[in-house]
Amino acid sequence: MKRIGILTSGGDAPGMNACIRAAVRTGLANDLAVVGIRRGYTGLIAGDGVPLDRRAIRNTIHMGGTILETSRSPDFYTREGRLKAAEAIERLGLDGIILIGGEGTFHGASLLAADADTAPLVGVPGSIDNDVYGTDYCIGFDTAANCAVEAIDRIRDTARSHERLFFIEVMGRTAGFLALESGIAGGAEELVIPEEEVSIARISERIRAGFITGKKSAIVVVAEGKTPGVSFEIAREVGERLNFDSRVVVLGHLQRGGPPTLRDRVLGSLLGVASVEALLEGQRECMVGEVGGNLRCTPLEETWQKKKPLNEDLVRIFPFLSE
């Protein structure tokens, strides 16, 4: 193996640059030439590669987003597009590719491997949603969760001052990891996550019970699910039941940007090194992740075919922590 490529695909996540930096430095330490593929799968199809040396990744570990840029490529989900990508890999002379992204990234990589006899592919989980099977935490999740907690803390001051009910909507796509952990850390009174059926009656009664015991404000953390903005309808229905003034705050893409936390910088660095080492060891069509404090390789197909479960203990303890 002499020449490897690195790309970031899908939604950006804080810590991706730490991962790129670590992968480049590990590659160079092993006498590999490293090529950065710009704009994810869109750039791969176009063969848009740039050399990555120490200068290119210097002073990037603290930066959010991705220096390689990213995209969501509809063309890559066509066989024609994937065959163009395979041809580009051949033209670029790549002996292996590191793919930093989430479920969609690894689904696309699995399809590419099935369509063409291409260079080995090794994935690294980068997603604020934290919904990738095969790793306890994805790069970017910790930063996004801390952003959500800071927002909850700030909103609580206003909720308490005005005696109001607030609904704070966080990202997470179809998974409740962000809502669950930020809800616990922020001391939310109620939680709405895709893994559980939404019960307006239950939410209303739990909040009412809190008011009876002396609470004058409350915060409900809502996972956006498949329908971003769903918190507005939930707030309306709960507000009508309780006859209580409420407000909605949708955090949206605020959770994606900003400097990565220590945890995301360390995780990105660890997995960046592990991805290059996996290629050098002959691994292919797998994702490197951290499970129980140990590095593990998971077949790419499992990362998007299997559903990652929420931490059962966290789900169990939320109800009585929020009383």
Residues marked as catalytic: 129
| Beta strands at 165-170 and 218-223: parallel, antiparallel or unpaired | parallel
DSSP-assigned states of every residue in 2-48:
-EEEEEE-SS--TTHHHHHHHHHHHHHHTT-EEEEETTHHHHHHHT-
CA 221 – CA 210 distance, rounded (Å): 16
Written as six digits, the tokens of 110 are: 């699995």
Cβ neighbours of residue 130 closer than 8 Å, sequence gap 6 or more: 137, 138, 141, 172, 175, 177, 178, 308
- Specify burial of residue 127 (Cβ count, 10 A radius: 0-12, 13-18, 19+): buried
CA 286 – CA 239 distance, rounded (Å): 47
285: left (phi over 0), alpha (psi -120 to 50) or beta: left
The H-or-E segment that residue 222 falls in is: strand 218-223
Written as six digits, the tokens of 137 are: 């935490």
